[in-house]
Structure 1
Amino acid sequence: MRQTSSDPRRDSDPADGSRRSDGATLPRVRAVSRAIAIMRTFTPEQPRLSLSAVAESAGLDAGTTRRILVTLRDEGIVEQDAKSGQYALTLQAMRFAGAVPDGQSLRDLAEDLLRGLADEVGATAFLSVARGHEAICLARFHGQAPVEVRWWALGMGRPLNCGAAPRLLLAHLPVEEQDRILAQPLATLTDKSITDPDLLRVELDEIRRNGWAFARDDVALGLSAVAAPVRDDRGLLVAAMSLGGLTPQIFGDTPDGDGRPRALSPLLDCCARLSDRISGLDFIS
């Protein structure tokens, strides 16, 4: 049975039998609308959801929700955890964002700010989001510096316990999501990587208190990074913006990496500008 609508342009053709070129006179495909409603239930704050949670949020019954989720899973759009049964979006969703031409992706909205930040500090600027067990690089821009940080390529995932931006993202995940991640073996990139869950929890608490994160030598020896949150108009974290480079580039005259990083002030200013820019906008991360 076709879904009815209060807008006659959507469900019936004009009296003269013609169709508008924008398709407004065509009936809506209910299955597509429902699939999109399901995809919208996944957020940075709730990247993994149970079947019942998805159904409730999308306003659908459990049977319909499960059939659509199974279809999306088979198409590679969502994944299902074998142990918990929870669902999450896959990287395919981010590939869709890369095809957006109208400047409404988060990367497009941030590009000029990131380029300016990289040039101002003379370091590499990154924009990243959390997806599952990883931090995914959405954007990377190199400033005028003798060393460019290339360890994190566009679209590549990195462990959430290593690096300033990954740990900042981890610190702002829901507690149950943090516990799930910390219950599994943590990656070791250098001998400075934090792999003890209890020590990492202390670090995450400090990140939330400070409002920013820094890292030194835990991704690659000799490299440091500082990260800060980009927030929406509700104050919720949308992404992490970070700067990476040689330790003197990031910490300035504090060679031991103590105190407030030199690169922090311009980074915080840039994050505030991007947060203002995305306030009230619909965009794809």
Structure 2
Amino acid sequence: MQNVLNALRALEEVAARQPIGVADLARAMDLPKSSVQRSLVTLHEAGWIRPTAQAPTRWLVTTKALHVGRAATGELGLRDIAVPVMEELRRRTDETVHLAVPEAGKIVLIERLETSKAVRIILPLGQNLPPHASANGKAVLAASPAETVEHYLTEGLARFTDASITDPDLLRAELAEIRARGYATNSGEWRPDVSAVAAAVTPLGGSPVASISINVPTSRLTDESRSAYGIAVCEAARTVGEALGRAGGA
């Protein structure tokens, strides 16, 4: 019981003093550093706190606390549900994680959690992503009704790089593959230096309301990591979709 109380106290102190290191936290709690360190490890493994990118390690509260608070009051939206899941995805991969939504025929980036690595993908919130040349976009298209895809094709497929898909039949075939494996990939199809793996968020198996992606420099995406990230984003998207379905049916 005391370990649980220490962890809860540590969470409250981190929230009040963030970012904070273990030595300062131990002084604030009047506890041995070893006890505080155990509490921090527990909170980190549970997704409540995360370390800053700079040394020495200092700690920040994640958005999981916000998610739990919103759940307690019944105020759940897409971001509230998705961000804690995205936090866990970033923790597992240490790569940048994006949340995007379909909006008026476009795919719009609405949330970004960044990697701690020096070489990273940085896109501004509000960025429009091309549906046929981004992993987020292709994930959404693949989960959309056939008429939505055909309407998009009538507008023409712009070429952004040599890897862009501009042939409608090739895009249809690509979307069929995405449906079969559950996730979409982008290997420099929009910008040569940007690659990603994404899965659509579809509450109760309906139309896609969002997509979640892991985004990496093209040079860092291997066949092995692409497959592993695909499994991870499918799991994350399914978790968010199921939670949205429960919230909508509550």
Q: TM-score range by the shorter chain?
A: 0.5 to 0.7
The equivalences for 1:30-109 within 5 A come to 103-109=75-81
1:269 matched to 2:235: yes
| Matches of 2:130 and 2:220, distance apart in 1 | 24
Contact kept, 8 Å, 1:193 with 1:218, in 2: the verdict is yes
| Matches of 1:241 and 1:183, distance apart in 2 | 26
Identify which range, 229-238 or 161-170, moves more after superposition. 229-238
Q: In the alignment, what sits opposite 2:201?
A: 230
Instruction: Report the secondary structure of 1:136's partner residue.
Output: strand
Contact kept, 8 Å, 1:165 with 1:240, in 2: the verdict is yes
Q: In the alignment, what sits opposite 1:125?
A: 97
Q: In the alignment, what sits opposite 1:281?
A: 247
Unaligned runs of 5+ in 1: 1-99, 255-259
| Matches of 1:272 and 1:159, distance apart in 2 | 23
Report deviation, 1:246.
2.0
Indicate how the Cα distance of structure 1 residues 195 and 144 shifts in structure 2: closer, same or farther if over 3 A, else same.
Answer: same
| Matches of 1:236 and 1:159, distance apart in 2 | 19
The equivalences for 1:203-242 within 5 A come to 203-242=174-213
1:201 matched to 2:201: no
Report deviation, 1:252.
6.0
Give deviations 1:48-101, integer Å, cap 9, x for gaps. Answer: xxxxxxxxxxxxxxxxxxxxxxxxxxxxxxxxxxxxxxxxxxxxxxxxxxxx99
Instruction: Report the secondary structure of 2:212's partner residue.
Output: strand
Q: TM-score, normalised by structure 2?
A: 0.63
AA of the residue aligned to 2:242: D
Among candidates 83, 97, 114, match of residue 111 of structure 1: 83
AA of the residue aligned to 2:237: C
Give deviations 1:135-194, integer Å, cap 9, x for gaps. Answer: 11121111222222123x222222211111101111222222211110122222211111
Q: In the alignment, what sits opposite 2:8?
A: none
Report deviation, 1:114.
0.9
Contact kept, 8 Å, 2:130 with 2:190, in 1: the verdict is no
Instruction: Report the secondary structure of 2:141's partner residue.
Output: helix
Indicate how the Cα distance of structure 1 residues 261 and 232 shifts in structure 2: closer, same or farther if over 3 A, else same.
Answer: same
The equivalences for 1:19-38 within 5 A come to none
Indicate how the Cα distance of structure 1 residues 208 and 265 shifts in structure 2: closer, same or farther if over 3 A, else same.
Answer: closer
AA of the residue aligned to 1:245: V
Indicate how the Cα distance of structure 1 residues 180 and 269 shifts in structure 2: closer, same or farther if over 3 A, else same.
Answer: closer
Indicate how the Cα distance of structure 1 residues 281 and 147 shifts in structure 2: closer, same or farther if over 3 A, else same.
Answer: same
Identity %: 29
Q: In the alignment, what sits opposite 2:106?
A: 134
| Matches of 1:215 and 1:163, distance apart in 2 | 6
Instruction: Report the secondary structure of 1:116's partner residue.
Output: helix
Q: In the alignment, what sits opposite 2:146?
A: 175
Unaligned runs of 5+ in 2: 1-69
AA of the residue aligned to 1:265: I
Q: TM-score, normalised by structure 1?
A: 0.56
| Matches of 1:145 and 1:103, distance apart in 2 | 34
Give deviations 1:26-45, integer Å, cap 9, x for gaps. Answer: xxxxxxxxxxxxxxxxxxxx
Give the greater-gyration-radius structure (CA): 1
Indicate how the Cα distance of structure 1 residues 176 and 269 shifts in structure 2: closer, same or farther if over 3 A, else same.
Answer: closer
AA of the residue aligned to 1:136: V
